[in-house]
Amino acid sequence: MSAAKPNIVLGVTGSIAAYKAADLTSQLAKAGAAVRVVMTADAQRFITPLPFKTLSRHAVITDLYDEEEGWQPTHIRLADEADLLLVAPATANFLAKMAHGLADDALSCIALALNPKAKILIAPAMNGKMWLHAATQENVSTLKKRGVKFIGPEEGMLSCGYEGLGRLWDVNQIAARALKLAGRAK
C-alpha cells in the first residue's frame, strides 16, 4: 500500500445513483488518493466518462480492451496496483457476478484479478425488493465471508418510486470509509 497516495479503483455500475460517483471521485482525489474509474456499459447509460476523467485526472476505463501504454493489460495493472477496490454504486447484477467469480467486463475482471493485499468496499444501490431478495442476500453473505466490506444501503425514497432500503449510502461517509480502508484517514 502506498502511504503517500493510496490507489483507489472506483467501479461505477448501472444505477441511477451513478451520478453520485462523480462527487465521490472528487472527494477522494481532493483527499490525495489516486483514483482510477472503471465504468460498466450500464453505468454509461446514466452518466458519461467525461466528469470522471476530469475529476480524477486519469483516463476512464469503459471496456475490457481499453489499453494504455505498455504491454500489460490495463485491467491487470489496475488490479495489481490497487490498495482498494471501491464499487459505488454496486448493482445486484455486479454483486452476483462478484460472488460467482464471473468476469465479462473490465470491472469484474479487476475484481477477480485483484491483488490479495487490496481491500474491497461495496456501496450497493438498487430497488429495495432486489436488495432484500434471497439471491442478493446470499451473494452479499458470500462476499462478506471473503472479507468484502459493505457500506449501506440506506433507507429512503428510491428512484423507482418506492420508499425503503436500497439507496446509496451518503457519499461523504463512503469517501471517509474508503480513505480509511485505503490507508489515508480523512
Strand, helix or coil for residue 81: helix
In sequence order, the 6+-apart residues with CB closer than 8 A to the CB of 69 are none
**Element (H or E) spanning 87, and its range?**
strand 84-90
Q: Which three cell numbers stand for residue 164?
A: 425503503
Strand, helix or coil for residue 167: strand
Residue 109 a catalytic site member: no
Contact present, 108 and 38 (Cβ < 8 Å): no
> What's the half-sphere exposure (Cβ side, CA atoms, 13 Å) at 47?
22
Strand, helix or coil for residue 40: coil
Contact present, 108 and 102 (Cβ < 8 Å): yes
Catalytic residue among 160, 170, 176, 186: 160
Residues annotated as catalytic are 160
